[in-house]
Amino acid sequence: MSFTKLDQLGHKLEALEHALAILGADEATHMAVGGGEKRAEAMAALAGMHHRQATAPEIADWIEAAEGETLSEEQQTALREFRRQYTNMTCLPTEFVERQTTARMRCEQLWRDLRAKNDWAGFLPALEGVIALVREEAAMRAEALGLAPYDALMEQYDPGHRAADITPVLSELKTFLKGFVPEALAVQEERLAKTPLRPLSGVYAIERQRELGLAMMAAVGFDLTHGSLSVSHHPFCGGVPSDVRITTRYKTTEFLSSLMGVLHETGHAMYEQNLPKQWSHWPLGKARGMAMHESQSLFVEKQLGRNPAFWDWALPLVEQHLGESWSKADILPHVHLVKPGLIRVDADEVTYPLHVILRFELEQDLVSGKLNAVDLPEAWDAKMRDYLGLSTIDTPQDGPMQDVHWPGGAFGYFPSYTLGAMMAAQQWAALEKQHPAVNDDVAKGRFDAVTDWRRQNIWSQASRFSTPEIMERATGEKLNAAYFTSHLKERYGA
Amino acid sequence: MSFTKLDQLGHKLEALEHALAILGADEATHMAVGGGEKRAEAMAALAGMHHRQATAPEIADWIEAAEGETLSEEQQTALREFRRQYTNMTCLPTEFVERQTTARMRCEQLWRDLRAKNDWAGFLPALEGVIALVREEAAMRAEALGLAPYDALMEQYDPGHRAADITPVLSELKTFLKGFVPEALAVQEERLAKTPLRPLSGVYAIERQRELGLAMMAAVGFDLTHGSLSVSHHPFCGGVPSDVRITTRYKTTEFLSSLMGVLHETGHAMYEQNLPKQWSHWPLGKARGMAMHESQSLFVEKQLGRNPAFWDWALPLVEQHLGESWSKADILPHVHLVKPGLIRVDADEVTYPLHVILRFELEQDLVSGKLNAVDLPEAWDAKMRDYLGLSTIDTPQDGPMQDVHWPGGAFGYFPSYTLGAMMAAQQWAALEKQHPAVNDDVAKGRFDAVTDWRRQNIWSQASRFSTPEIMERATGEKLNAAYFTSHLKERYGA
């Protein structure tokens, strides 16, 4: 039976994915500093084995034959995802992939070096090379998938989202935010004029911060028998569903950003930990995509962790671990601080979407050819001034050179961040409709209803449906910016 | 060129070995408790890929063809080790290996359960099954390698050692020890009657013990940029040469055994860290075998770490980390405590070889058929009474049920422990001949001459020669028990 062959292949691929995931997490946490070269060699060889096995020509025949077999509904759905994975992995010729990998790696290395030097001119030719290849890639993916070129790129990260559907939603959000950011800043200014920000600036031993983070992780539902918290330079969520590795970094003089980071990664981790175990070796059993994943991390960080009700419960826990007795009036102005800036990864939840929309608009034009890399600094600066009133014309390192995504060739990824933020707000609203007392629960540290809703509507669905389908089934309607704008108005508005 | 195919195969196998080594070390140190089942699945699948790739039929043709190619001397030596590995891995039919793996796993699981219950009768049938299969295995290996059956088993662990060569050496040692153990105990008793043992029983925080261990590791030559120290239930040395993972376990009330364990694993680790890097993907580049490996760990633990001169240097370091000001008269009676007991792994360096010789004698008879498992408790007890004056007739859990080796089917492995101890003493003597002032160096914490000798004579040799050949080249003579007995007489004698 051909489906059985696919099932067996799934087990082999899962083993290689397990090795790659643990080796990757280990590299950033426990590896000796001198172990990198051999680790890179080993991981490249394992990734090569994975790619060869996942793209073998006979798999096309197995999928074809399996489609004629008598399969359960579950197997049929699994088969559809096997086909999706196989198509996405094989639609580019090997020769092209190798050429593209070389160009991306060169551009990324150059970026690491030249961003620090603010050297746009030196960086431009490499970026032009990557963009030329991504245009080729988009055309080939479009052909294979029957999609528009930019949609075909997005399809890798976020199955089912189309520019035609998300553009109006993001436009609505943009229009709202251009008016709302000044309003939120005015509200904040007025409040801080009355009650100045009280610094949260004690010195807190890393071990105590770690214990606080672990206590919060466990309370919101991270399963510590199937995951752990370590330290790394850049926080991440890695590992495998049976052993999810999340990381943070600590400053003894600044506990809040580390703690919020832990909650963010906890959101990612709980999605992985709660995927259906019986499907773990099928593409069907994987998390749906980057937007859905980001909705889960932002759900825990923004909807739960920055929710004022959460701090009713959290402040005594903070006091127990850090020995500080703060009131909500002390901490919420820090938790909700709005501060427009040039750097996306440092942005608050109000201004963050404008960073993403800027990139979404520019990268569509870069892929279509309407915009060329040489014109990026001006185009970026114009939008930055329009959306946030800030200029990057003299600092390309804080403009089009600030992210690794484009040098790395990841076009079509950026929208996931803000789609995730909107999806999280819409999920929260759906949950609140079903459990109107959810904030009372949260204020008491009771997260069961929250977890049950997420398990039933998101985690258990894995890749059964496309991203927009899962959202519609979970919340009863299509993606709607109103939930996110309401959320912002309630938290930051007048 | 067929040699090139072997070379490329070596890179693929190295990547899988890297993954298996890191996944294995991670499992014992950083894995979440619930991650075991999926880890086992992944490692079994990767081990299967490794075995399939390493034993593919075409490799026989490549080796055959490569032997007709014009190769450098280095490549010829590499080829010889490719052939040795291939022969050892393919001389058993797959059907047999599967049957044996099942029997061993069942017997090991039963052993874990029944040893605790002292249930020899329940355990016996499973052990009989394993022994029946090891007799078959020895016959097949003997046929393929042109060796005697027991030699063919030893060849897996320790290439080049033959029972006919090591038996006289181990017999000489046995005769010596049967007289020397009572002598050493009498000497100790007399000394303790004069100066009773002063307990080293403070409470030392794990973090301080860890720092002390790391300081000693670094001082004796462990490269902390290519390895690390963690905690695990059973101490081990794992990982890969570019990132060696050693572990220990701590008791706050007992620092010495943990510290000696760290030195032991450091000895293993330095061998791995200093193997020739350009050969790392060839069998030639691997450590020679278990006896040589054990000689390296025992060299650091026994020849260096329990050397009185070492404590001239080490005591101030201990004081710096633990805050205790001990004299050599305080610590050496602990470092050199002799205490005959039933359990091999707890034995001191004087009595340990008798535990090994007992097993070496019994397992040869088990393999040849002269002895059957049903008669083991009596045979074990008789030797135990003869060698150490202790009886195990009522406690098989502390007799033939005490080790995992036989239930796991590892016959031919035990001699490595004591061959390693003798080899370490002989290496030390050769080093001392070349550097008569070595103890003065050690007393000052200067380990350069020691490290240089080991690098030149042992580590750089990797698998260029058989175990006895490396020893003869390094020390100028064949394995000679006199070095080890002199060492014991000097340290423990009248």
- Averaged over B194-198, what is the pLDDT? 93
Which helix (DSSP H) or strand (DSSP E) does residue B3 occupy? helix B2-29
- Residue B205 CA neighbour count, 13 Å, CB half: 5
Measured in angstroms, the CA of A483 and the nearest CA of chain B are apart by: 37
Q: Are residues A112 and A173 in the same domain?
A: no
Distance CA A53, CA A51 (A): 5
* Selected catalytic residue, list B137, B265, B272, B349: B265
* Residue B202 banded pLDDT, cuts 50, 70, 90: confident
**A131 pLDDT higher than 90:** yes
Distance CA B231, CA B239 (A): 14
Catalytic residue status for A265: yes
- Out of A134, A157, A180, a domain closes at A157
Q: Are residues B362 and B458 in the same domain?
A: yes
Phi then psi for B240, rounded to 5 degrees? -130, 160
Q: Is B185 on the interface with A (CB under 8 A)?
A: no
Residue B177, token pair as written in the block: 């020890």
Cβ–Cβ below 8 Å for B45 and A11: yes
Q: Where are the alpha helices (DSSP H) in A224-289?
A: 256-273
3-state secondary structure of A401: coil
pTM: 0.94
pLDDT, tens only, B171-195? 999 999 999 999 999 999 999 999 9
- Averaged over B210-225, what is the pLDDT? 98
Distance CA B54, CA B84 (A): 12
The pLDDT, as a whole number, for residue A436 is 97
* Residue A28 banded pLDDT, cuts 50, 70, 90: very high
Cβ–Cβ below 8 Å for B242 and A35: yes
Q: CA nearest A12 in B: which residue?
A: B45
Q: Are residues B84 and B132 in the same domain?
A: no
User: B416 lies in a domain?
Assistant: yes
Please report residues of A whose CB lies closer than 8 A to that of B15.
Answer: 41-46, 49
Cβ–Cβ below 8 Å for B32 and A230: no
**A201 pLDDT higher than 90:** no
**A202 pLDDT higher than 90:** no
User: B366 lies in a domain?
Assistant: yes
Measured in angstroms, the CA of A243 and the nearest CA of chain B are apart by: 5
Report how far apart the first and last C-alpha atoms of chain B are (Å, whole number): 64
**B201 pLDDT higher than 80:** no
pLDDT, tens only, B397-449? 999 999 999 999 999 999 999 999 999 999 999 999 999 999 999 999 999 99
Q: Rounded to a whole number, what is the largest CA-CA distance in chain A?
A: 73
User: B446 lies in a domain?
Assistant: yes
Cβ–Cβ below 8 Å for B230 and A12: no
User: What is the DSSP annotation of B418-447?
Assistant: HHHHHHHHHHHHHHHHH-TTHHHHHHTT--
Point out which residues pair with B244 in neighbouring strands.
Answer: B227, B239
The pLDDT, as a whole number, for residue B450 is 98
Please report residues of A whose CB lies closer than 8 A to that of B14.
Answer: 41-42, 45
User: B193 lies in a domain?
Assistant: yes
The closest CB to that of A225, out of B19, B33, B224, belongs to B33
**A374 pLDDT higher than 90:** yes
| B34, burial (CB in 10 Å: exposed 0-12, middle 13-18, buried 19+) | middle
Cβ–Cβ below 8 Å for B39 and A223: no
Q: Where are the alpha helices (DSSP H) in A323-375?
A: 328-335, 352-368
Distance CA A110, CA A131 (A): 15
Among A196, A215, A195, A212, smallest CA distance to A204 is for: A212
Q: Are residues B66 and B123 in the same domain?
A: no
Distance CA B35, CA B25 (A): 14
Distance CA A341, CA A356 (A): 13
The pLDDT, as a whole number, for residue B116 is 95
Domain that holds residue B342: 112-494
The pLDDT, as a whole number, for residue B219 is 97
Instruction: Calculate the average pLDDT of chain B.
Output: 97
Q: Are residues B278 and B352 in the same domain?
A: yes
Among A340, A257, A333, smallest CA distance to A491 is for: A333
Cβ–Cβ below 8 Å for A19 and B41: no
Please report residues of A whose CB lies closer than 8 A to that of B16.
Answer: 45-46
Q: Rounded to a whole number, what is the largest CA-CA distance in chain B?
A: 73
How many helices (H) and strands (E) would you count in chain A? Answer: 20, 3
User: What is the DSSP annotation of A412-469?
Assistant: T-THHHHHHHHHHHHHHHHHHHH-TTHHHHHHTT--HHHHHHHHHHTGGGTTSS-HHH
- Out of A122, A140, A157, a domain closes at A157
Residue A272, token pair as written in the block: 């992985």
pLDDT, tens only, A408-428? 999 999 999 999 999 999 999
Residue with tokens 């027991």: B150
Q: What percent of chain B clears pLDDT 70, i.e. is strictly above it?
A: 100
The pLDDT, as a whole number, for residue A72 is 97
Window B:217-246, CB contacts with A under 8 Å: 223-228, 230, 240-244
Please report residues of A whose CB lies closer than 8 A to that of B26.
Answer: 22, 26, 30
Among B250, B352, B247, B237, smallest CA distance to B296 is for: B237
**B153 pLDDT higher than 80:** yes
- CB neighbours of residue B469 within 10 Å: 15
Q: CA nearest A227 in B: which residue?
A: B32
Instruction: Calculate the average pLDDT of chain A.
Output: 97
B67 is in an annotated binding site: no
User: B102 lies in a domain?
Assistant: no
Q: Are residues B430 and B479 in the same domain?
A: yes
Cβ–Cβ below 8 Å for A37 and B226: no
Identify the CATH number of the domain in which residue B329 sits: 1.10.1370.30
pLDDT, tens only, B336-393? 999 999 999 999 999 999 999 999 999 999 999 999 999 999 999 999 999 999 999 9
Q: Is A49 on the interface with B (CB under 8 A)?
A: yes
Cβ–Cβ below 8 Å for B243 and A34: yes
Q: What percent of chain A clears pLDDT 70, i.e. is strictly above it?
A: 100
- Out of B90, B124, B147, a domain closes at B90
**B465 pLDDT higher than 80:** yes
Please report residues of B whose CB lies closer than 8 A to that of A32.
Answer: 224-228, 242-244
User: B105 lies in a domain?
Assistant: no
The pLDDT, as a whole number, for residue B194 is 95
Q: Are residues A177 and A31 in the same domain?
A: no
The pLDDT, as a whole number, for residue B276 is 98
Q: Are residues A423 and A291 in the same domain?
A: yes
Q: Are residues A293 and A314 in the same domain?
A: yes
pLDDT, tens only, B17-67? 999 999 999 999 999 999 999 999 999 999 999 999 999 999 999 999 999
User: B445 lies in a domain?
Assistant: yes
Q: Is B51 on the interface with A (CB under 8 A)?
A: no
Query: Total domain count for chain A?
Result: 2
B294 is in an annotated binding site: yes
pLDDT, tens only, A80-105? 999 999 999 999 998 999 899 999 99
Q: Are residues B70 and B116 in the same domain?
A: no
User: B106 lies in a domain?
Assistant: no
Q: Are residues A115 and A166 in the same domain?
A: no
* Residue A330 banded pLDDT, cuts 50, 70, 90: very high
pLDDT, tens only, B84-106? 999 999 999 989 998 999 999 99
Q: Are A407 and A111 in contact (CB under 8 A)?
A: yes
The closest CB to that of A242, out of B18, B37, B244, belongs to B37
Q: Are residues B66 and B129 in the same domain?
A: no
